[in-house]
Structure 1
Amino acid sequence: MNGTFLDVLALLAIAVGLVWSFRRVKLPAILAYLVTGLIAGPDVAAWVEDPDEYHFIAELGVVLLLFSLGLEFSLPKMIAMRRLVFGLGAGQVVICSVLFAGLAYLWLGDWNAAMVIGGTLALSSTAVVIKQLGESSQLTTRKGQATVAVLLFQDIAVVPMLIVIPLLASASADTSIWESLGIALVKGAGVVILLMTIGKWVLPHVFREIARLRTDELFVLATLLVALVAGGLTHLFGLSMALGAFLAGMMLGESKYKHQLEADIRPFRDILMGLFFITVGMQLDLSIFLRHLHWIILAVLVIGLLKMLVVRLVAGLMKEREEDAWSAGLMLFQMGEFGFVLVSLAFSYALLPTDIASLLVGVGVLGMAVTPVVIQRSHQLVKPLLRANTLELKTEIVQPDTSKPKRVLVLGFGRVGQTVSRFLTNENIEHLAIDHDSKRVQEATAGGANVFFGDGARRDILKTVHADQVELIIITFADDLKALEVLKSVREMNDHAEVIVRSRDDLRLEAMMQAGATQVVPDTLEASLMLVSQILSRTGVPIRKILARLDQARRSHYGDMHGFYPGETTDMDPEKIDRLQFLHAVQLTDNAYACGKELAQLGLDDLGLQVKSVRRDGQEHSEVAGDFKLQQGDVLLIAGGPRAVEAGESFLLNG
């Protein structure tokens, strides 16, 4: 084995281990790749002495990243959000770029390096911020939308920055930057027209023909070819490869193949981007990082503070709420993944010295490391900055009267909870709902709903609303784990009430019943029952018989509906596999162990299996007792977990 192969093997092994460990503690995978590069680089293990060996392959990751960005670039979405995107977003990028560039010039005395640093620090991490906003349920809030709008403009601003950096390097030698920029704009306009023409008149026909063949490999190859040819074309004109990939993605972003293209390109993009961030980590000079750690921490704080102030100022001028403005600015405090792209590009063109590039990478790594914590605690961090009258306006929620217990308690006021509440109101049944989404509670109470603001899992909140005295409690959370947690809290206080729990499916039905649920209503099974009732009704079955069938299914806790036949597309996630219930048909062959034995003798219950039916000579026996004797040719329909089904089949055939 040659040395390069061993280097790649070592990089892969470290990356797998670090990505796993970082994700366990909810840190972004980008940080794991950067640390992998640091470990493998010349300052630590020195497995890779020259990071430039991987530079070209890593650059393909940037090309595919910009291609994906182009696919996600939606002109209608831009138009819908134009006020925030081109107002707040443009204001943040321009002001922060000029501000940071000015500070960098005072520090370094070099305008080229200062412009690179200004553009780099003005950007924030789209990948990390949007992921954390989604996980903390803030993506659809006003502050979340403002943050996404700024990130969207930053992603657009990356494209001209990628054009300017090579021009700064060439202009420093002979011509002026404005002359080079003018030439680049003419070239760029020519390339854009050429690519748009190809994209409008050629690519749709090409992908239509490829789609007709239904060959996945050809679709993937064509996608890669389009991205790389577009990148190569712009590179031929002296512009960035990433610019061409972005334009190619943008051309295909409005096509019906957008989602398939994105799915095809994602594995290659993620792997190559991982390699790119590994090469960035290799460029981090550890001695410089450790020696200047205090300055790096100070830089993260100062950069974050200035970004927050700029966003607050611009958002304030746009009449955005004070809390949303501060929160959006706080969430954008870090340097983003495109910042690493710009630093790497500027370093390759010798616009940044090694120590400055290492410091910028260090600032980016530290900022991204603390981003998840900052976003999760944004409300607490912003709270001291709010004026007293704004704080009171935000936190003042008119709580309903809880002096006496209501007849029904609805925990969770999402879509399902609101539907339940409307029907109870129509029947004049006294009830109270609880929800911890302040905006939803404010809207609901303003509309006349009887909703209490609080977390239904907390004992003190449950005690306040007299959950220990209520006759009927309905838990409507979409998250089964949350519903189970609330159910346990309720049962600790109230052991006599009827508790109906909404569940997404039947994976945790058994656990909920054991925790004290009177009835569990799984969405998927109830949807199946409603579909069946419609079908039976339209085929002439009397409504009384249909209702009896539905009632029987519910009384048996959906016993006959548990288990399904797996297919190639069945989700076999390791976290779910032990809770799935499969159906599997086993035919007893000539020498099968179970032939001639009674079901009770086999003890299938001990294996976690249930015999749903036995088919013999074309006749189905749906209810078989323990004394039912099996014989050659019988087909047993067994139900159980995937592993139990596999073990059961082996036992029935071989003993």
Structure 2
Amino acid sequence: MNGTFADVLLLLAIAVVLVWAFRRIKLPAILAYLVAGIVAGPDVTAWIQDPNDYHFIAELGVVLLLFSLGLEFSLPKMIAMRRLVFGLGAGEVVICTLLFAGLAFLWLDDWTAAMVIGGTLALSSTAVVIKQLGESSQLTTRKGQATVAVLLFQDIAVVPMLIIIPLLASSSTDVSIWESLAVALVKGAGVVVVLMAIGKWVLPHIFREIARLRTDELFVLATLLVALVAGGLTHLFGLSMALGAFLAGMMLGESKYKHQLEADIRPFRDILMGLFFITVGMQLDLQVFMHNLHWIVLAVLGIGIIKMLVVRTLAGYMKERDEDAWGAGLMLFQMGEFGFVLVSLALSYSLLSAEIASMLVGVGVLGMAVTPLVIQRCAQLVRPLLRKVAEPNEADLGQPELSEPKQVLVLGYGRVGQTVSRFLTQEGIDHLAIDHDTRRVQEAIAGGDKVYYGDAARRDILKAVHAEQVELIIISFAEDLKALEVLKSIRELNEHAEIIVRSRDDLHLQQLMEAGATQVVPDTLEASLMLVSQVLSRSGIPIRRILSRLDQARRSHYGEMHGFYPGETTDMDPEKIDRLQFLHAVQLSDSAYACGKELKRLALDELAVTVKSVRRGEEEFTEVRGDFVLHQDDVVVLAGGPRAIEASESYLLNG
């Protein structure tokens, strides 16, 4: 028992260090878990002698992963994207599976192993690709949508693959694979009917009763129980546990408890899935990997090229643009996390040798490692493959005439930019918008709007639209880092223009002001002001006084609105936490260091905090100066960053 505990402790320690290191260099956590398994496995440190000791717990991770997949399985979304999902997605899975299986058969001369390899390599990484698409702002692009559609069908295709692998293992008996598959389908249909009946008539009542009790741990326990019971039921019928979990998730996916279930299951799923990927890493024979590294690199390139050509061809038949077709194919080049699940399952049924499994794991690890870089540089990698230059010229788009500078420039023509443009048009103010989305520019020009295609951060584009002579410029896209880049480019050309910048919140407000913004308009704070104006108006406050208050808030750069009291749901992302402004109330006890001292003597500004107010009994002091003396039982409200507030509280109380 002590040995097992020590092993688990070592695994956790390795996983924590590697996940931290990998996330620092923007690599997915899955890779960190795989490397942790390699380090702890028999080929490096040999801390874990037998990975099979952890097989059952790792299998629970797969069960919960499929349960989460079932929760996210949305029939309405599937119907809305049916053309791409069942056209592009189904085509990619079927064609790539057959192509890779054919190549594997030529290599191994074993059709059962070849089918497993074909299905494994046809899948791509949903977790890594969608995360990278979101981080690179490509999720809502046409190529992003095509990529998501293929991943969606691949996730569905995992379910029959989980059924077929055990059948392939039993096909060596007298019963044919087709008979086995028919029996499995009948069993599967029976299980589906039973589970759907339970999901429709039993589970809603159970979860409604649990929700009434408002007991979080009971909700979590019930969620885990449902996933495991469903998995156990399919296992009882000779099918995969993961299949039952998927069906259970699908049943609950359309219920009003979907998001709560997903939130409750995620910590267990992530930890157990981490353990699963660690066990996969343990199965990687490092000698085989290093000995065949050249073949593995060649395989990653070959698989990527085949997938890209297949997706490009299918997307071309579906009249998708060349740029989007090549881009979607490139993003799907890697082997996915479900590939590891299939490799592990096939290995447990002896359908693959340990050497082949190690090579497949190596292909998956290498592919996932380079995926973030490939997706971030997708446009540059795809450009040489296009028949014509991806950047459309002015004649193609019917660009507006630019002989004279406009009164106003609107940079970014999304929803906010278009709204600004409509109001300017109504007032007869001559203006021009710039946007980098080809389709949006084409649509806008076709509708009669004055929109110029180009990247607003480029000096040549800014010169083309006479930005150096424009008096008022609006940056309407809520991407602060991009806005900073654009601001610097504009200020190099034009020092006198008024520049109004839209921002999502006040995290980068100071940086934007220092970069040359005349006014920054944070969405969240402006929404608060609009809400306040409605509340005050309905409370009988004169409109002139309300407008004065709003104007004062804006002139002070929302000074009174910075800082908020954090709660359990506050986003404590390490990348943001140093830029957040929190409020925190500190009560001075009779032995507190600050009692009887003036604020200027305490010099709290040196700790990067400000005193927002001091409450003394029923009295509140909102404007406190340096000569203000703090007394016992005063409640001091501090504003500043989380770490600065912690240090200041300790200083006020203990000196």
TM surpasses 0.5: yes
* TM-score range for the pair, normalised by the shorter chain length: over 0.9
Amino acid at match of 2:421: S
Q: State the Cα RMSD in Å.
A: 2.5
SS of 2:467's equivalent in the other structure is coil
CA distance in structure 2 between the aligned counterparts of 1:643 and 1:316, rounded to whole angstroms: 54
Return closer, same or farther for 1:465/1:45 CA change in 2, 3 Å cut-off.
same
Q: Give the match for residue 257 of structure 1.
A: 257
Say whether the 8 Å CA contact 1:231–1:241 is kept in structure 2.
yes
Residue in 1 that maps onto 2:176: 176
Asked if structure 1 preserves the Cα contact closer than 8 Å seen for 2:383 and 2:390, the reply is no
Distance of 1:585 and 1:304 partners within structure 2 = 56
Gaps of 5+ in 2: none
Q: Distance in 2 between matches of 1:311 and 1:617?
A: 70
SS of structure 1 residue aligned to 2:468:
coil
**Which stretch of structure 1 is more off in the superposition, 55-64 or 320-329?**
320-329
Partners of 1:151 and 1:394 in 2: how far apart?
36
Q: Is the 8 A contact 2:412 2:476 kept in 1?
A: yes
In structure 1, the partner of 2:454 is: 454
Deviating more after overlay: 397-406 vs 529-538: 397-406
The equivalent of 1:75 in structure 2 is 75
C-alpha deviation, 1:633, in angstroms: 5.3
Task: Determine whether 1:542 maps to 2:542.
Answer: yes
Provide, for residues 520-549 of structure 1, a one-character-per-residue CA deviation record: whole Å limited to 9, x for no partner. 222222222211221222222222222122
What is aligned with 2:558?
558
Q: Tell me the equivalent position of 2:464.
A: 464
Distance in 2 (CA, whole Å) between partners of 1:24 and 1:585 is 34
Rate the CA distance shift 1:219–1:517 in 2: closer, same or farther, 3 A. Answer: same
Partner of 2:101: 101
Specify whether residues 3 and 435 from structure 1 end up closer, same or farther in structure 2 by C-alpha distance, changes over 3 A only.
Answer: same
Q: Give the Å deviation of 1:463.
A: 3.3
Deviation track 1:97-152 (CA, whole Å, cap 9, x = no partner) reads: 22222222222222211221121122221112222222222222222222222221
More displaced, 247-256 or 366-375? 366-375
Give the distance between the partners of 2:392 and 2:633, measured in 1 at CA: 76
Q: Displacement of 1:201 after TM fit? A: 1.3
Structure 1 residues 90 and 440 mapped into 2: Cα distance closer, same or farther (>3 Å)?
same
| 1:335 and 2:335 are equivalent in the alignment | yes
Quick one: distance in 1 between partners of 2:154 and 2:648? 57
Contact 1:475 1:499 in 2 (8 A): yes
Range that drifts further, 390-399 or 253-262: 390-399
Aligned partner of 1:425 in structure 2 is 425
1:271 aligns with 2:279: no
Determine the C-alpha separation between the residues in 2 that align with 1:489 and 1:331: 31
Aligned residue for 1:468, secondary structure, equals helix
Partner of 1:16: 16
Closer/same/farther in 2, CA of residues 177 and 420 from structure 1, 3 Å limit:
same
Equivalents in 2 of 1:356, 1:635: separation in Å?
Answer: 67
Q: CA deviation at 1:484?
A: 2.8
- In structure 2, the CA distance between the partners of 1:382 and 1:252, relative to structure 1 (3 Å rule), is same
Whether contact under 8 Å (1:383, 1:391) holds in the other structure is no
CA contact (8 A) 1:331 1:375 kept: yes
TM-score, with length taken from structure 2: 0.93
The one-letter amino acid paired with 1:352 is: L
The offset of 1:262, in angstroms, is 0.8
**Matched residue type, 2:503:** S
Secondary structure at the counterpart of residue 387 of structure 1: coil
Inter-CA distance 73–644: structure 2 relative to 1 (3 Å threshold): closer
* Cα distance in 2 between the residues matched to 1:278 and 1:589: 51
Q: Which residue of 2 aligns with 1:297?
A: 297
2: distance between equivalents of 1:321 and 1:444? 19
- Residue 510 of structure 1 deviates from its aligned partner by 2.8
Match of 2:86 in 1: 86
Distance in 2 (CA, whole Å) between partners of 1:95 and 1:626 is 75
**Aligned-partner Cα distance in 2 for 1:640–1:202:** 51
**Residue type matched to 1:376 in 2?**
Q
SS of the residue 1:27 aligns to: coil
**What is the CA–CA distance in structure 2 between the aligned matches of 1:6 and 1:523, rounded to whole Å?**
50
Over 3 Å counting, the alpha-carbon distance change for 1:634 and 1:379 in structure 2 is closer
Alignment partner, residue 233 of structure 1: 233
Q: CA deviation at 1:242?
A: 0.8
How far the C-alpha of 1:614 sits from its partner, in A, is 4.2
1:387 aligns with 2:387: yes
Quick check: 1:405–1:466 contact (8 Å CA) kept in 2? yes
The equivalences for 1:339-354 within 5 A come to 339-354=339-354
- Counterpart of 1:567 in structure 2 is 567
Matches within 5 A, 1:178-197: 178-197=178-197
| Separation in 2, partners of 1:42, 1:588 | 58
Whole-Å Cα distance in 2 between the matches of residues 211 and 408 of structure 1? 54
Aligned counterpart, 2:217 = 217
C-alpha separation in 1, matches of 2:229 and 2:381: 47
Q: What is the match of residue 129 of structure 2?
A: 129
Residue in 1 aligned with 2:55? Answer: 55
- 1:215 & 1:613 partners in 2: Cα distance? 38
CA distance in 2, matches of 1:627, 1:520: 33
Is the alpha carbon distance of 1:6 and 1:486 closer, same or farther for their aligned partners in structure 2, counting shifts above 3 Å? same
Q: Which moved more, 1:548-557 or 1:243-252?
A: 548-557
Mean Cα displacement is larger for which, 432-441 or 599-608? 599-608
Structure 2 distance, partners of 1:632, 1:294, is 73
1:313 aligns to what? 313
The one-letter code of the counterpart of 1:509 is L
**C-alpha separation between the residues in 2 aligned to 1:26 and 1:650?**
35
Instruction: Report the alpha carbon displacement of residue 67 of structure 1 after superposing the two structures with TM.
Output: 0.8
- Correspondence list, 1:190-209, <5 A: 190-209=190-209
* Distance change (3 Å), C-alpha of 1:136 and 1:593: closer
1:177-226 deviation digits (Å, cap 9, x = unpaired)? 11211221222122111111111111111111111111111111111111
Cα contact 1:413–1:435 (8 A) shared by 2:
yes
Deviation of 1:598 after TM superposition, in Å, equals 4.4
User: Amino acid of the residue matched to residue 299 of structure 1?
Assistant: A
What secondary structure sits across from 1:243 in the alignment? Answer: helix
- Identify the residue that residue 580 of structure 2 maps to in structure 1: 580
Verify: 1:510 aligned to 2:510, yes or no: yes
Q: 1:237 is matched by which residue type in structure 2? A: F
The verdict on how the C-alpha distance between 1:623 and 1:288 changes in structure 2, with shifts beyond 3 A counting, is closer
What is the distance in 2 between the residues matched to 1:358 and 1:591?
65
Matched, 1:519 2:527: no
Give the whole-Å Cα distance in 2 for the aligned partners of 1:537 and 1:551. Answer: 15
Alpha-carbon distance in structure 1 between the residues aligned to 2:50 and 2:633: 68
CA spacing shift, 1:566–1:372, aligned 2, 3 Å: closer
Instruction: Compute the displacement of 1:250 (Å).
Output: 0.8
Structure 1 stretch 239-248 or stretch 19-28: which is displaced more?
Answer: 19-28
- Deviation of 1:592 after TM superposition, in Å, equals 5.1
1:308/1:332 contact within 8 Å kept = yes
Secondary structure at 1:432 match in 2: strand
Give how far 1:647 is off. 4.2
Q: Is the 8 A contact 1:582 1:641 kept in 2?
A: yes
Distance 2:380 2:591 in 1: 70
- Contact 1:38/1:278 (<8 A) preserved: yes
The structural deviation recorded for 1:585 is 4.1
Whole-Å separation in 1 of the counterparts to 2:630 and 2:491: 45
Aligned to 1:34: 34
What SS does the aligned partner of 2:239 have? Answer: coil
Per the alignment, residue 411 of structure 1 pairs with 411
Q: Relative to structure 1, is the Cα distance of residues 615 and 310 closer, same or farther in structure 2, using a 3 angstrom cutoff?
A: closer
Give the Cα–Cα distance (whole angstroms) in 2 for the partners of residues 57 and 595 of structure 1. 56
- Structure 1 runs not aligned, ≥5 long: none
Structure-2 separation of matches of 1:609 and 1:548 = 28
Amino acid in the other structure paired with 2:207: F
Amino acid at match of 2:73: F
624-633 or 140-149: bigger deviation: 624-633
- TM-aligned CA deviation for residue 637 of structure 1: 4.0
For the residue of structure 1 that corresponds to 2:469, the secondary structure is: coil
Deviation, 1:244, is 0.8
Map Cα deviations across residues 586-638 of structure 1 (whole Å, 9 max, x no partner): 45555555555544444444444434444456344443444445555554444
In the TM superposition, residue 43 of structure 1 has moved relative to its aligned partner by 1.8
Paired residue type of 1:558: Y
